[in-house]
Amino acid sequence: MTVRKLGNATIEKVEELCGPGFSPSHMFPKFDQEAFDAHKSWMVPVHVEAGTDRLVGSIHTWIVKTPRHTILIDTCLGNHKQRRNPRWSGLDTPFLERLKACGCPAESVDFVMCTHLHVDHVGWNTQLKDGRWVPTFPNAKYLFAKREYAHWETERKTKGEGVNDGSFDDSVLPVVEAGMAEMIETDHQPDPMLTLKDYPGHTPGSVAINLRDGDSRACFAGDIMHHPIQVYHPDWSSQFCWNPDLSAKSRRQLLEDCAETNALLCPAHFPGANAGYIKPQGNAFKIEWDQ
């Protein structure tokens, strides 16, 4: 695992799964083959599977350690959970062992922060013990954006327990029922180095989590973008976006913010180098990978 140093903090990615998934034409309703092909030389094979053009995606968490706290940002899919996607269902990965090998045993986590509450960002919030879903990180406070939680709570009341592929019931509600969740506004600051900012569109309450120490900055962007092609085509929202137009607007704003502040962009699904610095390029942007 690569440990990145940012001022007096450290950042480390811990992967649960990585591999080819959707075709780009399926993922992006505004997909344009010619525009995509213009970038294939650098995307293959790390970001695009050779021969199929399927998008390669990683599902990972970020460990952020500041002088005061250990924070997990997004918690992947989780083990033993039944999902519609067969590649995500009934997993049995050594994810917790990987965390521990990085010096982050479950009991050491102070805060769990979810950029939004989709199924692949909340899974390890809980684990199965004696037939019950219980919080995985026993000493952590789980921080959920108030607007995001309110949206899915309403969805749960109106549509039943299948909301978010069942993840609201098995990965969010047990945390709330255990009294370990805190619904926060974006002015909430759990650590002096951390701030939040709203970037709605992928979901109603999706946020980015910003880390700053002096002039050093990083931005944990969740699913405000899924794939690096969106750096070059910010208007390409994914099929999973709740409001594609708003998502595109938020994505462009996020990229502008990262370029202006020279923040290291750390999304939730980029494989390979998985993080980089954003630079303006014409009417869009480019990424300089942090190797």
Q: Name the amino acid, one letter, at 193.
A: M
Residues 6+ apart with CB under 8 A from 128: 79, 80, 134
pTM for the whole structure:
0.95
Q: What are the two backbone dihedrals, phi and then psi, of residue 55, each rounded to the nearest 5 degrees? A: -75, 130
Give the other-Cβ count within 10 Å of 212's Cβ. Answer: 18
How far, in whole angstroms, is CA 37 from its chain's centroid?
26
- Report pLDDT for 1: 59
Separation CA 217–CA 190 (nearest Å): 17
Supply the CATH number for residue 69's domain: 3.60.15.10
Q: What are the two backbone dihedrals, phi and then psi, of residue 121, each rounded to the nearest 5 degrees? A: -125, 0
pLDDT along the chain (291 residues), means of 10: 90 97 96 96 96 96 98 98 95 97 97 98 97 98 98 95 94 98 95 97 98 96 97 97 98 98 97 94 95 81
- Report pLDDT for 161: 87
Q: How many domains does the chain have?
A: 1
Q: 264-267 and 216-222: which strand pairing?
A: parallel
- Secondary structure of 17-40 in HEC code, one letter for each residue: EEEECCCHHHHCCCCCHHHHHCCH
- Report pLDDT for 2: 81
Q: Which domain holds residue 273?
A: 3-289
